[in-house]
Amino acid sequence: MEIAILTFDQFNEMDSFVVAHLLNRLSPQGWHAYITAPSDRVTSRNGVAVDAQRPLEFTATADAVVVGSGWLTQEIAQDTALLGRIALDPQRQLIASQCSGALILARLGLLAGQPVCTDQFTRQAIARTGAQVLDTPFHARGNLATAGGCLSSQYIATWMIARRLGLAEAEKVIRLVAPVGEVAGYVDRALQAVRPFVANAPVNSAA
Amino acid sequence: MEIAILTFDQFNEMDSFVVAHLLNRLSPQGWHAYITAPSDRVTSRNGVAVDAQRPLEFTATADAVVVGSGWLTQEIAQDTALLGRIALDPQRQLIASQCSGALILARLGLLAGQPVCTDQFTRQAIARTGAQVLDTPFHARGNLATAGGCLSSQYIATWMIARRLGLAEAEKVIRLVAPVGEVAGYVDRALQAVRPFVANAPVNSAA
């Protein structure tokens, strides 16, 4: 399972690294999430310079794609040359956006008729595309998901793992990263957020 | 308020970037958190190569220090040359460790007589130092704090902001990053985690 975490200049560190870290917890099972960027290096909104692990063209072969967010998403969603390097196929891939990343999925025509989760600052821009904006952290229809609020990135990871390996495997990963003493609450919220959207997921853990 | 986020090779991305991101939400108020490393570049446990924003010697002038965690913390805690570059002063600085970072604070003699929060994999190593290991996500005594579980990094940020600017300002930051629709719960847990340890914090927001 190869996952592209789309990460652009001025990116939000939480939105790219939380989901990447959670998915990479399954590296013993062959899951690998990569910081995937339009150039060799990208710099976060707080000046953290990171080497890209994969170019945007990696999306063409990735099994799943997470579109991260950042301060430049509105501009990126208008950059047709850059968008042309992103190859998404919701028939084959699991695809999710984090916060303003929904603007890119909308621009690519992937959210038509689908309610959208996003952050409080992106709500209006999403609403202008004609989409319904939800007051919940996570929503998916088929293979396309959206999440809103930096810390809802944990729900994107939960959903992707649950879709491919089942809810029990997703729960194991959340247990590993929850604050000590708060594991039950974190597991409950994560499973509750994604359960309506994993009806066809494996019932039993793959482990 | 200049904050060093100590980040070593094979670091845990969540443990360094969640707290750095949250503290940098106060950049308009002059707060700046920096990835602080022993070399010009460090590479995470999942292969993400990041430029250091500050060298370890930055700790000598920083107003606060967070010791991140990673796969090499046990080795780092034995590296006297490297530890010699870290200058911590709990009289002047707010100091916190995330997960295995507590091993470094313990090695520097800063946790004597203080119960410790850490992750499930570091418990035994901390216990061998003679310290009591807690089953809670966050604990502080004076200016020294420890946290356990990747996502308890949000409580380190909450505590540092509350100690310097008050609980109301800390709450504002948590509101900005909580999953949409789950803000109240995230705020409640964050304030509950740190409230016992910010008795002398400003009552009113500085904003």
Q: Which two tokens stand for residue A121?
A: 């600052």
**SS3 category, B55:** strand
- The CATH number fitting domain B2-197, selected from 3.40.47.10, 1.10.1780.10, 3.40.50.720, 3.40.50.880: 3.40.50.880
Angle ∠(B153,B155,B160) on CA atoms, nearest 5: 105
> Mean per-residue pLDDT for A78-99?
97
Q: Which residues of B are less than 8 Å from A136 in CB distance?
A: 180-181
Give pLDDT tens digits for B71-104.
999 999 999 999 999 999 999 999 999 999 999 9
**What is the H or E stretch that residue A192 is in?**
helix A183-194
Nearest CB to A46 within list B21, B155, B193: B21
Q: pTM score, two decimals?
A: 0.95
CB-closest option in A48, A120, A147 to B53: A48
pLDDT digits (tens, 9 = 90+) for B4-51: 999 999 999 999 999 999 999 999 999 999 999 999 999 999 999 999
A123 touches chain B (CB under 8 A): no
Do residue B150 and residue A17 have CB atoms under 8 angstroms apart? no
Nearest to A136 among B46, B50, B180 (CB): B180
- So where are chain A's domains? 2-197
Give the span between the Cα atoms of A68 and B1, in whole angstroms.
Answer: 28
- Tell me how many degrees the CA angle A198-A201-A204 measures, rounded to the nearest 5: 125
Q: Do A20 and B46 touch (CB under 8 A)?
A: yes
The alpha carbon of residue A126 is apart from the nearest alpha carbon of chain B, in Å, by 15
Provide the ipTM.
Answer: 0.94
Strands (E) across chain B are located at 2-6, 32-37, 41-43, 49-51, 54-55, 64-67, 94-98, 138-141, 144-147
Q: Which amino acid is at A68?
A: G
For A36, the closest chain B residue by CA position comes to B48
